[in-house]
């Protein structure tokens, strides 16, 4: 978490006395021995920003990695084949897969083919398998046609006033749901469908659109199978649904600019640890799910990952949350940094208290204009010259920067995609930094805090015209909700 005088820009992140590699146009995660029973290292050691391969048995490497970095792995129930015989077998299986895809239709599906061992973590790369769907598949009709039910994901979304919108097979578009026949059972079932355990609240809101959805009385199918098109709703009242009581701070006192956060101030901020050391931030979005950056997931020893919540000091850690499954976005591109996001499913639900609360996921239409004051937090470095992670949770306010300005020739020259958002100052000085990756960029609206971005990359820290770049959460909402639905508890 950098708060640097822009008149005196910091030196390159890799001083020659520490590291001989040239500066990189990305964040590297700094790992120090700050966990229980570990002695801090004299020099930083680095976890590569982009995993080159994964050696956990259940892993299949992503197709976006360069081929020279791929590593063939086997699961516990299979053997690797070598030589020309193995190559011919692979070719044959590939041909069969292509034929099946043409014959029955295919799509990518979250999940894995490994056995379900609850004593260890499972690493899932969604692009590692295909979901088989028949050619007559109908999406969002409440009936699962595909093997992994992907035809019934991305059928629910939320508007900025909490308005519930459902996509149906009738017209293939999202429509609001009439409030007149809605009840608590419908609310609970809809939120559970999305990966939340129950609903928190629902109410009516006004919508003047010409069409809407009314309940049909069915109850044993997903919400998209329980509704049908109606010309209008009684009194134009539609459902506003909230699945969690999110985005509430227990402590609001703060001093602007690169200061230590207070307990309960950012209760969704998490610390991701590998072998007892902080490597990245993460964000709590529900009792069972955590978001972080895809590049934070190490290429080895994923079974050693632990998540800590309610932490404002790495010197005082509570009991960790254990990770059951790690799911990388199948479109994550380690070269362009695009869609840098991963979802962690916890082994047991988090019990919320005044120090641990979820942040709100934004509505699909929620946006914050250039100059909006937001905040980012983390345990990252506060002095790029020393490159040591902070033991205290730090906070800094940053302004949203339009993609046009961020992508100017003086800035990132087109490297910022539509799935990214920039925040900081063009003058430099206030920025996230190494070790903050995976943590939140948060903006407030209606007395609740929304997760606008996930710390992803940048050119050094706090440089002029080089603000922090964050994964844009609204762009990834379909992936987040569909993955939560696939992995719901």
Helix (H) or strand (E) holding 449: strand 448-457
Nearest Cα neighbor of 456 from 306, 286, 338 is 338
Q: Half-sphere exposure of 233 toward its Cβ, with a 13 Å CA cutoff?
A: 26
- The angle formed by the CA atoms of residues 179, 443 and 271, to the nearest 5 degrees, is 105
Rounded Cα–Cα distance for residues 437 and 269 (Å): 12
User: Counting every residue, how long is the chain?
Assistant: 489
Strands (E), 82-211: 106-108, 122-124, 130-132, 156-158, 164-167, 174-176, 201-206
Neighbouring CB atoms inside 10 A of 376's CB total: 31
- From the centroid of its chain, how far is CA 176? 26
3-state class (DSSP) for residue 398: strand
Task: Put residue 140 in one of left, alpha, beta given phi > 0 → left and psi -120 to 50 → alpha.
Answer: left
DSSP 349-393: PPPP-SS--PPBPPPTT----TT-EEEEEES-BS-TTTT-B-SB-
Q: Which residue has the tokens 């949770």?
A: 393
Task: Put residue 141 in one of left, alpha, beta given phi > 0 → left and psi -120 to 50 → alpha.
Answer: alpha
Rounded Cα–Cα distance for residues 5 and 463 (Å): 9
Residue 326 is classified by DSSP as: E
What residues are annotated to the active site?
295, 340, 437
- Return the CA Rg of the chain: 23
Interstrand relation of 305-309 and 321-328 (parallel, antiparallel or unpaired): antiparallel
Strands (E), 350-404: 373-378, 394-401
3-state class (DSSP) for residue 483: helix
């Amino acid at each position: 978490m950098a708060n640097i005088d822009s008149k005196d820009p910091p030196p390159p992140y890799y001083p020659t006395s520490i590291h001989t590699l040239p500066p990189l146009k990305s964040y590297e995660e700094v790992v120090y021995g700050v966990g229980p029973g570990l002695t801090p290292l004299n020099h930083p050691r680095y976890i590569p920003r982009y995993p080159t391969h994964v050696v956990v048995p259940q892993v299949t490497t992503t197709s976006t990695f360069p081929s020279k970095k791929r590593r063939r792995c086997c699961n516990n129930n299979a053997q690797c084949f070598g030589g020309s015989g193995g190559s011919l077998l692979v070719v044959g299986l590939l041909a069969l897969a292509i034929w099946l895809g043409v014959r029955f239709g295919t799509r990518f599906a979250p999940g894995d083919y490994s056995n379900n061992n609850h004593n260890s973590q499972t690493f899932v790369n969604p692009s590692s398998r295909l979901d088989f769907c028949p050619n007559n598949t109908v999406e969002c009709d409440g009936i699962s046609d595909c093997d992994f039910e992907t035809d019934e994901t991305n059928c629910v979304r939320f508007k900025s006033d909490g308005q519930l919108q459902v996509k149906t097979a009738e017209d293939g578009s999202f429509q609001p749901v009439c409030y007149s026949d809605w009840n608590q059972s419908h609310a609970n079932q809809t939120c559970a469908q999305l990966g939340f355990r129950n609903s928190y609240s629902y109410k009516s809101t006004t919508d003047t659109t010409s069409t809407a959805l009314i309940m049909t009385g069915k109850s044993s199918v997903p919400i998209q199978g329980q509704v049908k098109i109606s010309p209008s709703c009684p009194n134009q009242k539609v459902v506003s649904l909230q699945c969690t009581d999110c985005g509430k701070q227990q402590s609001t006192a703060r001093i602007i600019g690169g200061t230590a956060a207070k307990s309960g101030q950012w209760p969704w901020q998490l610390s991701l640890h590998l072998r007892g050391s902080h490597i990245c931030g993460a964000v709590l979005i529900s009792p069972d799910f955590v978001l972080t950056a895809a590049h934070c997931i190490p290429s080895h020893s994923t079974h050693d990952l632990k998540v800590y919540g309610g932490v404002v000091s790495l010197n005082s850690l509570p009991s960790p949350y254990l990770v059951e499954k790690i799911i990388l976005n199948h479109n994550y591109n380690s070269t362009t940094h695009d869609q840098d996001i991963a979802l962690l499913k916890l082994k047991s639900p988090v019990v919320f208290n005044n120090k641990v609360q979820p942040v709100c996921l934004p509505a699909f239409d929620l946006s914050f204009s250039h100059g909006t004051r937001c905040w980012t937090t983390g345990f990252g470095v506060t002095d790029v010259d020393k490159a040591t992670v902070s033991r205290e949770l730090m906070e800094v306010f940053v302004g949203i920067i339009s993609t046009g300005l961020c992508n100017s020739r003086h800035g990132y020259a087109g490297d910022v995609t539509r799935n990214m958002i920039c925040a900081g100052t063009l003058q430099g000085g206030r920025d996230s930094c190494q070790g903050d990756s995976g943590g939140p960029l948060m903006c407030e609206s209606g007395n609740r805090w929304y997760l606008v971005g996930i710390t992803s990359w940048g050119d050094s820290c706090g440089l002029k015209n080089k603000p922090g770049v964050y994964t844009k959460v609204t762009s990834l909402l379909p992936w987040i909700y569909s993955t939560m639905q696939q992995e719901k508890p």
